[in-house]
Amino acid sequence: MSLTVSGFVAQQILGWDDGEESNVYITDTGSVSIGSHFKFTGQATIAPGYTAGYVLKIEAIQNDSLLVDQNNDNGIANSASAVVGNNGSSSALSVESSYWFIKSDTLGRLSLGKQSSAVDNQALLPDGSGTLVVANYIQYENNAFFLRNGNGSLSGIRFGGIADCLPLNGGGGTSADCDGYPNNNIRYDTPVFAGFSGSASWGEDDVWGVSLRYAGEFSGFKLAAAIAYNESSDENGPGALAIAPGGADFNAAAVQIGAYLEHVPTGLFVYGAYGTEYDNDNFAPGEPEGDNFYIKAGLRTRFSALGHTIFYGEYGENSDKMSTDNFLAGITDSNLRQYGVGVVQEVDAAAMSVWLAWRHYESEVTCDGAGTCDDLVGGLGVVAGNNDFEDFDVIKAGALINF
């Protein structure tokens, strides 16, 4: 049995300004597959072309960027992965994945245990620009921050509460990645055929998904793409929204699509993603089925022997992706827009990336539903009708080192 130890460590300086208050924190880059971790991978040959093995992945998060806000510079807890995956634990160490697998070179791989589903991160992973960690559509740096009202007070609505996913049952902050937490499942991955591969998984009570991927190069272009569909009827999902309003059953679904195209000779690239959600059983009658899109374009170039330098610009939007809790409190429409620019320097000899990035967020909600918005925000200024919140700016400077 061979054993491989791998992982990465990523930390950053996070400066923010919500229009009334500003500060600088030191955080991890987020948890749930994108934060500091170490992984043990073992495998042994059963027969020629057949192997069996295991993966044990431990996240080592000290200050998850998903959980900091205006009042918590050290985060609501150490790690979102620990809170969600380990039943409310706030430990700095959490089991992100733990599963065994059997693999055939011709038949594919079957795995069982706590792992990413066939859908997790599928729209993200085609991004081959080298900027995936620092720039993507998930609200990694501002998920838990509160929207600030125009009168300067903090509302009770967090950014993650208007970039939510119905299949995650209130998991928050995930935009298109609507099966974004590793869970206990059985998963099958096909071999690669002419650049195509597929996956399917089922687990929990009940969560299932399928995905299809392509990666290839032709005429000087590099292309990668993925499409995924997932469905969940797990009423005890990451958001723990266990009691359905009106006694309705919970059943929600989502589609996510991501694609990356790079002209290799020049280094010009473009990446885009889209996601939409479906409320199959009318869990909360009248709740909108939201969607989102994200686009990023830039240049991979090489100024020195250190490695590639990557410049990029980005834009994204979440429409009507409020959480069910916010909808039931009276929010009927929501919109969150983000745009930014950044630069990433790869250091090949150290398996390292260093970045500097700026992002700007704009948001508004409409409160005219059956709920009472003052109950939602403690009477801190969200009113019936349209509410435009203060803009939110973030500057990030950090590094990631692989091992």
Domain residue extents for the chain = 2-402
- Other beta carbons within 10 Å of 22: 11
| pLDDT in the model for residue 239 | 60
What phi, psi does 161 have (nearest 5°)? Answer: -75, -10
d(CA 154, CA 167) in angstroms, rounded, equals: 28
Predicted TM-score (pTM) of this structure: 0.92
- Contact criterion met (CB below 8 Å) for 245 and 280: no
What phi, psi does 400 have (nearest 5°)? Answer: -135, 130
- Other beta carbons within 10 Å of 301: 12
Q: What size, in residues, is the chain?
A: 403
Q: Return the amino acid letter for 9.
A: V
Cβ burial, residue 188 (10 Å; 0-12/13-18/19+):
middle
Angle at 194 between CA 193 and CA 195, to 5 degrees: 90
The residue among 402, 403, 336, 320 whose CA lies nearest residue 369 is 320
d(CA 325, CA 241) in angstroms, rounded, equals: 8
| pLDDT in the model for residue 380 | 47
Angle at 357 between CA 354 and CA 361, to 5 degrees: 150
d(CA 88, CA 141) in angstroms, rounded, equals: 21
The residue among 45, 280, 254, 54 whose CA lies nearest residue 165 is 254
What are the counts of helices (DSSP H) followed by strands (DSSP E) for the chain? 3, 20
Rg for the chain, CA atoms, rounded: 21
d(CA 59, CA 80) in angstroms, rounded, equals: 10
d(CA 323, CA 166) in angstroms, rounded, equals: 7
Taking domain 2-402, whether its CATH number is 3.40.50.261 is answered by no
Q: Which helix (H) or strand (E) holds 374?
A: helix 373-377
Each of the 403 residues of the chain gets a pLDDT tens digit; together they read: 899 999 999 999 999 999 999 999 999 998 888 899 999 999 999 999 999 999 999 999 989 999 999 999 998 777 887 777 665 566 778 899 999 999 999 999 999 999 999 999 999 999 999 999 999 999 999 999 999 988 888 988 999 999 999 888 777 778 889 988 899 999 999 999 999 999 999 998 889 999 999 999 999 999 999 999 999 988 777 765 545 555 567 889 999 999 999 999 999 999 999 999 998 877 778 889 999 999 999 999 999 999 999 999 999 999 999 988 888 888 899 999 999 999 999 999 999 999 999 999 999 999 886 666 765 555 445 777 889 999 999 999 999 999 9
Provide the H-helix boundaries in 221-349. 324-328
